[in-house]
Amino acid sequence: MIAFNLLPYREALRKFKQDQFNVSVVFTLILGGVTALAIYGSLRYSLAAQQDNILVLEREIGRYESQIIEIQAVKTQIDALLVRQKAFEDIQADRNSPVRLLSELADILPPGVALSKLAQKGQEIALEGTAQTNENLSQFLDKLGQGGARFSKPELLVSEALHINPGGKLPVKAFKFLVKATFVRDPAASAAAPTDAPKG
């Protein structure tokens, strides 16, 4: 006996496929929503972690900035102490400087040259005096410039002829001069100066 299926199977198949599609769409939407929530939660957690890291870094930066300020203050104090130490060493090195200066001048002063005024400012000295002749003055300048004496850069600023009358005798021609030079600090005195500045 032959059986015939008179039910609309094409519509049932189409409805079945439509139901499958709808289920897959719903499942996809649910999966997408769960994924989006997971990503959102992960981003929120990462953002919170980054904010915590930023707070930690800001605290560390503040701590280091305060340390930098303290270090700069200490460096300023060290620089001031070094300046005081250098001044102290210069004073120690120069305490016998006037004696050495006069001794050196007495050694190199040639006959016929007399000094009337000596002024010192730092290492610069100015010498005023008279010379009987130009040759005497030239000899004095040569000795000032020699390496053996502790003078350097002698420079003749003024040289003028004048007539002097010593002891009421006949006028004698002489030369008034003004010389500038540098008095070199004694290296041995600098080396002997103490290296520690006084506490204060």
pLDDT (tens digit, 9 = 90+) per residue, 96-135?
677 777 888 888 888 888 888 988 887 888 989 988 888 8
Q: Which amino acid is at 24?
A: S
Q: What is the CATH number of the domain that holds 171?
A: 3.30.1360.100
Domain check: are 23 and 79 in the same one?
yes
Q: What is the mean pLDDT of residues 8-25?
A: 82
Domain count, the chain: 2
Q: Share the mean pLDDT of the chain.
A: 80
Q: What is the mean pLDDT of residues 31-49?
A: 90
29-38, 65-74, 163-172: least confident range: 163-172
Q: What is the 3-state secondary structure (H, E, C) of the chain?
A: CCCCCCCCHHHHHHHHHHHHHHHHHHHHHHHHHHHHHHHHHHHHHHHHHHHHHHHHHHHHHHHHHHHHHHHHHHHHHHHHHHHHHHHHHHHHHHCCHHHHHHHHHHHHCCCCEEEEEEEEECCEEEEEEEECCHHHHHHHHHHHHCCCCCEEEEEEEEEEEEEECHHHCCCEEEEEEEEEEEECCCHHHHHHCCCCCCCC
Q: What is the pLDDT of residue 120?
A: 84
Q: What is the pLDDT of residue 7?
A: 57
Domain check: are 182 and 106 in the same one?
yes
Domain containing 26: what range? 9-95
Domain check: are 164 and 132 in the same one?
yes
CA–CA separation, 89 vs 44, rounded Å? 66
Sheet-wide strand order for 113-121: 113-121, 124-131, 172-183, 151-164
Q: Which residue has the tokens 């350097």?
A: 152
Domain check: are 75 and 105 in the same one?
no
Q: What is the pLDDT of residue 199?
A: 44
Q: What is the pLDDT of residue 9?
A: 67
Q: What is the pLDDT of residue 71?
A: 93
Residue 161 within a domain: yes
With bands split at pLDDT 50, 70 and 90, how would you rate the model's confidence at 18?
confident
Among 73, 95, 117, give the residue marking a domain's end: 95
**134-145 vs 97-108: helix crossing angle, rounded to 10:** 130
CA–CA separation, 153 vs 123, rounded Å? 11
Q: What is the mean pLDDT of residues 141-153?
A: 75
Residue 162 within a domain: yes
Q: What is the pLDDT of residue 173?
A: 78
pLDDT tens for 41-79 read: 989 998 998 999 999 999 999 889 989 999 999 999 999
β-pair type (113-121, 124-131): antiparallel
